[in-house]
Structure 1
Amino acid sequence: MSHEGIRFLTEEEQKRQDREDRRAAGLTKQALTPAKVKVHKTEGTGMEIEWEDGHRSHWSFAWLRSACPCATCVEERQLEGREAGVPKSKPKQLLQMYEPPARPASAHPVGRYAIQFNWMDGHSSGIYSWDFLRRHCQCEDCRLGRSVPN
C-alpha cells in the first residue's frame, strides 16, 4: 500500500489549520463550542445544542442519521447526489416495508470536539464534530444563510 501524497500534520499545524478554517467560515471559537448538549433519546426527538455564543441548534434523529459524516455514508451521498441530512430514496414497491424511525441506542462524547451515536440499525462509525453540527444547523436563520449565494 502506497502512502505517497499523504502528509500528516503536527498538532501545532492542525491547530493553525483549524483556526484558518474557522476564520474563513466566519465562525468564532465560541460559535463552535457547545455550552450545553442535550440528546433526547427517551423522547426520540433528537439533539439540541446551546452554543457558547448564545445560538441554539436542534437536529432530529432522522436528519442526524441521514447526515452521518463517516466516510462510507459521505461517499454514498456523493454518488447519489444527496446533501447531508437528505434520506436515501426508497425503492418503488407495491407494499412498502415498515422502517422504524432513526434512534440512537446510545450517544457518547468523543474527546472535547464531537459526539458519536450508536444507531439502533447497528451503524456507529460517524463522528459528528461540533464544527460539522454548527455548519449544518437546522434553524431557519442558518438554513437561509446557507442558501444565499455569495
Structure 2
Amino acid sequence: MKRPERKNTGVIPTDIRLHRRSRTLELEFDGEQTYSLSAEYLRVYSPSAEVRGHGPGQAILQVGKEAVGITDLEPVGQYAIRIVFDDGHSTGLYSWDLLYDLATHQAEYWRDYLAELEAAGYQRRSDDNSGDAV
C-alpha cells in the first residue's frame, strides 16, 4: 500500500471542522480548496508507529475500521493535530503536510487500501459513512 509522503509543502489549513455525525474531518486550504476525509480513511493512514511500523515494510494493515469515529482533535504546536479516535487510537500526529497529502491523493490512497484489503482476503462491512465517499 502506498504510504503518504512526508513533504514540506508549507500548506496550512485555513479551517478544520469535525463532523461527528458523519464521521468526517473537513479541511480547507488557501481559503478555497475544501476536502472531506472520513474517519476510517484517517485511521487506516495514521502516521503512528502502531500503524506504519518502525521502518520500511513494517506497516500493519488496519481492518475493521469502517465505523470508527473521531472523538477529539488536539492541536500540536503550529504544525499538526492529534486525532483521537473512538477505538482508543490517539498516537498519530497529523502534520499539515500529511493532511494535505492525504486530502489531495485520497482517491489513489483509498484504492490502494481497498486493493490491499482484498489481497488479504478481508471484506469491508458496508457503512454509509465509510471511506467509499472520499
Asked if TM exceeds 0.5, the reply is yes
Structure 1 or 2: more strand by fraction: 2
8 Å CA contact 1:104, 1:119 repeated in 2: yes
Deviations 1:69-111 (A, max 9, x none): 11121018943685xxxx43x6xxxxxxxx7711122222111
Count of equivalent residues:
104
Structure 1 or 2: more helix by fraction: 1
Q: Distance in 1 between matches of 2:57 and 2:18?
A: 28
Give the aligned residue type for 1:40: H
Q: Which residue of 1 aligns with 2:14?
A: 35
Q: Distance in 2 between matches of 1:64 and 1:58?
A: 11
- Structure 1: which 4+ aligned runs deviate by more than 3 Å? 76-82
For structure 1, the residue ranges without an aligned partner over 5 or more in a row are: 1-17, 91-98, 145-150
Q: Distance in 2 between matches of 1:69 and 1:131?
A: 12
Q: Percent same amino acid at aligned positions? A: 24
Q: How far 1:129 moved relative to its partner?
A: 0.8
TM-score normalised by L of structure 2:
0.62
Change (3 A) 1:62 1:81: closer
Q: Distance in 2 between matches of 1:69 and 1:100?
A: 18
Change (3 A) 1:108 1:81: closer
Q: Distance in 1 between matches of 2:79 and 2:18?
A: 16
Q: Which residue of 2 aligns with 1:79?
A: 58
1:123 aligns with 2:101: no
Higher RCO (CA 8 Å, separation ≥ 6 residues): 2
Instruction: State which structure, 1 or 2, has the greater radius of gyration over its C-alpha atoms.
Output: 1
Deviations 1:43-73 (A, max 9, x none): 1331011112632222100101111111121
| RMSD after superposition | 3.3
Q: Distance in 1 between matches of 2:57 and 2:26?
A: 27
